Structure 1
Amino acid sequence: MKGRHALISGGGTGIGRAIAEALMVEGATVTVTGRRAGPLQTVTGAAPVVMDVADPSSVTAGIATARDQNGPIHICVPNAGIAVGASLAKTDEEMWRAVMATNLDGAYRVIRACLPDMDDWGRVIAVSSIAGLKGLKGAAAYTASKHGLIGLIRALAADHLGRGVTFNALCPGYVDTDIVTDNTARIMSRTGMSESDAREVMIGANPHRRLIEVEEVAGAALWLCGANARSVNGQAIQIAGGEF
C-alpha cells in the first residue's frame, strides 16, 4: 500500500479505525474523518479531518483538506453510519432522514468526491451490513439504507467496468463495537433484560454465536486492496458467521 492514500469516513472508532490501522501497517497514508475531533486524534499515524457526511458542504471541504494534506485519494472507505432500530410506525420523518442522510447519502457524497482521483487504480470499499442483504426486524430505515448502499456499489461497478477501479461492499453481522454496547443499553431499557442477556440477543443473531471482531472486517478490506482481488468487483461480501 506504499504510495496509496486511503480515506476512511467514521475512521475514529470501531470498524473504520481497524481498517485505518490495517492499511497503515501495510504502508498506506491514511486520512480518517468523523464528526468529533477527539476520537480521530487517537488514531496514531493517521491524518484527522473533522467532517460530517450528512452535510454536503462539510464533505466538500473535508475531502479537499484531505487531498491538500496527503494528495490524491486512491482508496475510499465510506464507513460512517448510524444504527438505530424502530418499527416503521415509530420511524418518523426525522429519524428516516437522519439514517438515510448518513448511511446512504453520506456514502454517495464521499464516493463522488473521491472518485475523480482514481484514474487507473482505485478501491471503493463501502461498509454496509448483513442488513443490506436481508430484512432486519424492527429496523426498516437502517435496512433500507444498507440495501441502498449495496445498490449504489453495484451500479458504480457496472459504470466503471474495464478500469482499474473496483467497488465492493462489506456486510458484517454484529461486530464488537460501541454500536453493540449502545444497542445493549437500549434492549435493557426496553425489555428490562440484564446486560448479559441483552448482549446475548446480538451474539445469538450471528450464526456462529459470537460477535465479530473488527480485525476480521479490516482483513477483508485489506484483501480487497491487494493485487489478488483486482477481479473482485460489485460484490457484497458477507462477514457474518454463516448467513445465507
Structure 2
Amino acid sequence: MGKPLQDRHVLVTGAGSGIGAAIAHRLAQDGALLTLAGRRAEPLEALAAELGVACAIAVSGFDVTAPEAIATGLERARARFGAVSILVNNAGEAPSASFEKTSLDLWSKVLAVDLTGVFQVTQAVLPDLKAHGLGARIISIASTAGLTGYAYVSAYCAAKHGVIGLTRALALELARSGITVNAVCPGFTDTPIIARSIETIMQKTGRSAEEALAEFTRANPQGRLVAPEEVADSVAWLASPGASAVTGQAIAIAGGEIMAG
C-alpha cells in the first residue's frame, strides 16, 4: 500500500524544533518531500540529516517577515523538489508581557511573525498550490490563544485570532480550487518554549519544576501538556486525501480545554 503523501512537496516553516520538527518527522513517514525552512541553519541541517538527504532539504535564513528571504528560500526549495503542494505555516513566537508593558515594538514584532508571516508565505506559495489544484493544502499552526483569551500574551492572542480569521476567509476563496485551508490550534505543548518558560517561573518565583509546570497543565482537563507528535498527527490527517472535505476549520488539540459550541 502506497504512502498517502508519496513524493508530495511540503514546505514547513519554523521546522527546526518542537512542533515543526515533529510535523516534519510525521510527514516524512507518509512519504513527503520536505523543505525545512527557518532562520537558524544548525537545527534545520541536523533534522534534514536525520530524515535523510533524499527526502529533506534545510533552507535557513527563511525569515517569514522578509519577502526577499521568502522568495530566495522558495527558489531553493523548488529547485530541489519542484512546486510546493502542501504548506505548513508553523513559524511563530510568543513573548509574554502584561498589556500595559507591551510596547509597540513588541506588538509589531509578534504580529509580523505570527500573522503577517503567514500571509506573506501563503501568498508566495499560492501559485504553486493553485497549479497543483485538487489535494493542495494550507495548514497553519495557530493556538488555543486564537480561540480564547489568555492574560499576558495579548499580542500573541491577537495574532492567532487573525490567523484563524485568515484561514476561514481563504478557505472560502479557494473552496472550488481543490485547495483546503485549515488551522490546528494546540494548547500548551511540550516544546522548548514551555521548558524555557518553566525555568523562568522557577527563577522568578522560587517554585519547583512541578509547581511551575502546573501553571500550564491546569487549563487542560486531561491535566497534561500536549505532545508535539499529537499536533503532527492532526497535520498529517489534514494533509491526507481523507480530509478533502475539511476546510475553514480551527481544530483544537488541547485535551478538552476548548470545545466547539
Question: Could you state the TM-score of these two structures normalised by the residue count of structure 2?
Answer: 0.91
1:199-210 mapped onto 2 (5 Å cutoff): 199-210=213-224
Distance 1:13 1:55 in 2: 21
Structure 1 unmatched ranges of 5 or more: none
| Larger mean Cα displacement after TM superposition, 193-202 or 24-33 | 193-202
Distance 1:187 1:59 in 2: 35
Task: Name the structure 1 match of 2:65.
Answer: 54
SS of corresponding position for 1:205: coil
Structure 2 unmatched ranges of 5 or more: none
Tell me how large the CA RMSD over aligned residues is.
Answer: 1.1
**Which amino acid in structure 2 is aligned with residue 58 of structure 1?**
A
Task: Name the structure 1 match of 2:168.
Answer: 154
Are positions 1:33 and 2:37 aligned together?
A: yes
Out of 221, 236, 239, the residue aligned to residue 250 of structure 2 is 236
Task: Name the structure 2 match of 1:192.
Answer: 206
SS of corresponding position for 1:109: helix
Task: Name the structure 1 match of 2:106.
Answer: 95
**Which amino acid in structure 2 is aligned with residue 18 of structure 1?**
A
State the 1:182 CA deviation: 1.5
Runs of 4+ in 1 over 6 A off after TM superposition: none
Distance 1:198 1:38 in 2: 30
State the 1:225 CA deviation: 1.2
Question: Could you state the TM-score of these two structures normalised by the residue count of structure 1?
Answer: 0.97
Encode CA deviations 1:30-76: one digit per residue, 9 max, x unaligned. 00111100110111222100111122211111112111111000010
1:212-231 mapped onto 2 (5 Å cutoff): 212-231=226-245
| Larger mean Cα displacement after TM superposition, 185-194 or 156-165 | 185-194
State the 1:199 CA deviation: 1.4
Encode CA deviations 1:72-93: one digit per residue, 9 max, x unaligned. 0001001000011111101001
**Which amino acid in structure 2 is aligned with residue 143 of structure 1?**
C
State the 1:10 CA deviation: 0.4
Are positions 1:14 and 2:18 aligned together?
A: yes
Task: Name the structure 1 match of 2:84.
Answer: 73
**Which amino acid in structure 1 is aligned with residue 58 of structure 2?**
P
**Which amino acid in structure 2 is aligned with residue 218 of structure 1?**
A
SS of corresponding position for 1:181: helix
**What number of residue pairs does the alignment pair up?**
244
Task: Name the structure 2 match of 1:114.
Answer: 125
State the 1:22 CA deviation: 0.9
Out of 113, 129, 134, the residue aligned to residue 143 of structure 2 is 129
Encode CA deviations 1:150-169: one digit per residue, 9 max, x unaligned. 11111110111112100000
Distance 1:136 1:189 in 2: 22
Task: Name the structure 2 match of 1:42.
Answer: 46
Q: How many percent identity over aligned positions? A: 45
